[in-house]
């Protein structure tokens, strides 16, 4: 393979990735008249025209969307970490009957695609009275999380059990061992889970769309989705709204690149 072909293919692929995003970025700064008069590849005349962003932010109630997303994200993440590390502690540090069965049930559940069971899950969430409350999204993000438990188990197995035993000889209870020894050593795994799960929750569309129907409960995805109805003909405003949703992802990616790569690899291959 010649060098030129290699770089040419890389540049072509980069263009295919970037051009669709850049044109939306352009459109977000155009006035309505300008949008209609110019082609999509023409940069905006005035880069300081933030009118569309203002409209999108206020009319799309993006602040509310970010707030709801953040609340759901923080509670679900904390819950996932607590529930997951506790379960992993039981599995990697205790011997008990039916352990293989329990592990197997977690593994099989990982194979069930979440979208397929929503028909029946909806009835359960409804019977709990959680539909149209943030609680529905939170319990579902907690309850459908098997990969995190898996990552925790694998990481915990690399922590030498002699540490636990030494602490227990000093009189520490099982819970103290978990709280004071295991949990602090689990930081890298917790970071991995927080990142992949955080991205997944931020991007999740189906669960909030199905369970958080009230406009007051809009998260980022559903706020953007609902925005299209009334503004269907004003692409420059939709473009601005789309950019508002993408921006935090860009920032997170630039700051956390290495963790994200590692987390994605760990999460998908388990």
Partner 1 sequence: MRRPAAVTTPPVTPRRSRRWTPWLYLLPALALLITFTYVPVGNMVFYSFHTWDGLDVTMEPAGVDNYVRVLTDERYWRVFLISGYYFVASFAQIAIALYFAVILSFNTRFRNLFKGILFFPYLLNGVAVGFVFLYLFQPDGTLDTVLRWVGLGEHTRYWLGDPDIANISLAGTSVWRFTGLSFVLFLGAIQSIPGEIYEAAEIDGANRWHQVRHIIVPGIRRIISLSFILAISGSLSVFEIPFIMTGGANGTRTFVVQAYETAFQFRQIGLASAMAVVLLLVVLLITWVQRRIVPDEEVTLS
Going by C-alpha positions, the residue among 205, 248, 242 that lies closest to residue 224 is 242
Structure tokens at 86: 């506790």
The verdict on 121 binding partner 1 (CB under 8 A) reads: yes
Residue from 4, 48, 115, 255 in contact with partner 1 (CB under 8 A): 115
Site string for partner 1, 164-193 (x = CB under 8 A): -x--xx----x---x---------------
DSSP code for 178: I
Which residue, 71 or 252, is less far from partner 1 as judged by CB? 252
Question: What would the DSSP string read from start to end of 17-36?
Answer: HHHHHHHHHHHHTS-HHHHH
Residue from 23, 130, 131, 191 in contact with partner 1 (CB under 8 A): 23
CB count within 10 Å of CB 137 equals 27
Q: Which stretch binds partner 1 (CB under 8 A): 43-51, 53-61, 85-93, 184-192?
A: 85-93
The verdict on 130 binding partner 1 (CB under 8 A) reads: no
The verdict on 131 binding partner 1 (CB under 8 A) reads: no
DSSP code for 167: H
The verdict on 119 binding partner 1 (CB under 8 A) reads: yes
CB count within 10 Å of CB 156 equals 20
Going by C-alpha positions, the residue among 14, 10, 55, 15 that lies closest to residue 32 is 55
The verdict on 27 binding partner 1 (CB under 8 A) reads: yes
Which residue, 71 or 270, is less far from partner 1 as judged by CB? 270
Please report, as residue ranges, which positions from 42 to 81 form the binding site for partner 1 (by CB under 8 A).
none
The verdict on 255 binding partner 1 (CB under 8 A) reads: no
Residue from 50, 64, 71, 103 in contact with partner 1 (CB under 8 A): 103
Angle at 130 (CA atoms; ends 127, 131), nearest 5 degrees: 90
Please report, for residues 32, 34, 51, 167, 210, the alpha-carbon distance to residue 233 in angstroms, rounded to integers and kept in the order given.
10, 14, 16, 66, 26
Which residue, 25 or 71, is less far from partner 1 as judged by CB? 25
Q: Which stretch binds partner 1 (CB under 8 A): 45-53, 55-63, 89-97, 186-194?
A: 89-97
Which residue, 75 or 90, is less far from partner 1 as judged by CB? 90
Task: State the number of CA atoms in the 13 A half-sphere of 207 facing the CB.
Answer: 25
Distance CA 107, CA 97 (A): 18
Q: Report, in angstroms and rounded to the nearest whole number, the Rg of the chain calculated over CA atoms.
A: 23
Which residue, 54 or 128, is less far from partner 1 as judged by CB? 128
Please report, as residue ranges, which positions from 193 to 232 form the binding site for partner 1 (by CB under 8 A).
199, 202-203, 205-206, 210, 220-222, 224-225, 228
Contact of 110 with 147, CB cutoff 8 Å: yes
Structure tokens at 235: 């692409």
CB count within 10 Å of CB 259 equals 16
Residue 49: CB minimum distance to partner 1, A: 18
Site string for partner 1, 138-157 (x = CB under 8 A): -xx-xxx-x--x---x---x
The verdict on 122 binding partner 1 (CB under 8 A) reads: yes
Residue 50: CB minimum distance to partner 1, A: 19
């Amino acid at each position: 393979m010649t060098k030129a072909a290699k770089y040419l293919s890389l540049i072509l692929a980069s263009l295919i990735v970037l051009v669709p995003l850049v044109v939306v970025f352009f459109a977000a700064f155009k006035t309505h008249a300008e949008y209609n008069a110019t082609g999509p590849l023409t940069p905006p005349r005035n880069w300081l025209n933030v009118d569309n962003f203002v409209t999108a932010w206020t009319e799309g109630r993006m602040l509310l969307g970010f707030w709801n997303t953040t609340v759901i994200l923080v509670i679900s993440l904390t819950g996932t970490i607590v529930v997951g590390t506790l379960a992993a502690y039981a599995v990697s540090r205790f011997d008990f009957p039916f352990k293989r069965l329990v592990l197997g049930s977690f593994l099989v559940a990982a194979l069930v695609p979440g979208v397929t069971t929503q028909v029946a899950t909806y009835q359960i969430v409804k019977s709990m009275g959680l539909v149209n409350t943030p609680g529905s999204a939170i319990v579902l993000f907690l309850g459908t999380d098997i990969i995190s438990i898996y990552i925790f188990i694998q990481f915990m197995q690399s922590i030498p059990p002699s540490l636990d035993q030494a602490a227990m000889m000093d009189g520490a209870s099982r819970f103290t061992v978990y709280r004071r020894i295991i949990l602090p050593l689990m930081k890298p795994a917790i970071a991995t889970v927080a990142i992949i799960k955080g991205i997944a929750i931020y991007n999740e569309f189906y669960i909030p769309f199905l369970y958080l129907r009230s406009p007051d409960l809009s998260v980022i995805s559903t706020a953007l989705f609902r925005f299209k109805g009334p503004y269907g003909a004003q692409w420059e405003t939709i473009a601005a709204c789309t950019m508002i949703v993408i921006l935090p992802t860009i920032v997170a990616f630039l700051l956390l690149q290495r963790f994200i790569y590692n987390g994605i690899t760990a999460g998908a291959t388990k």
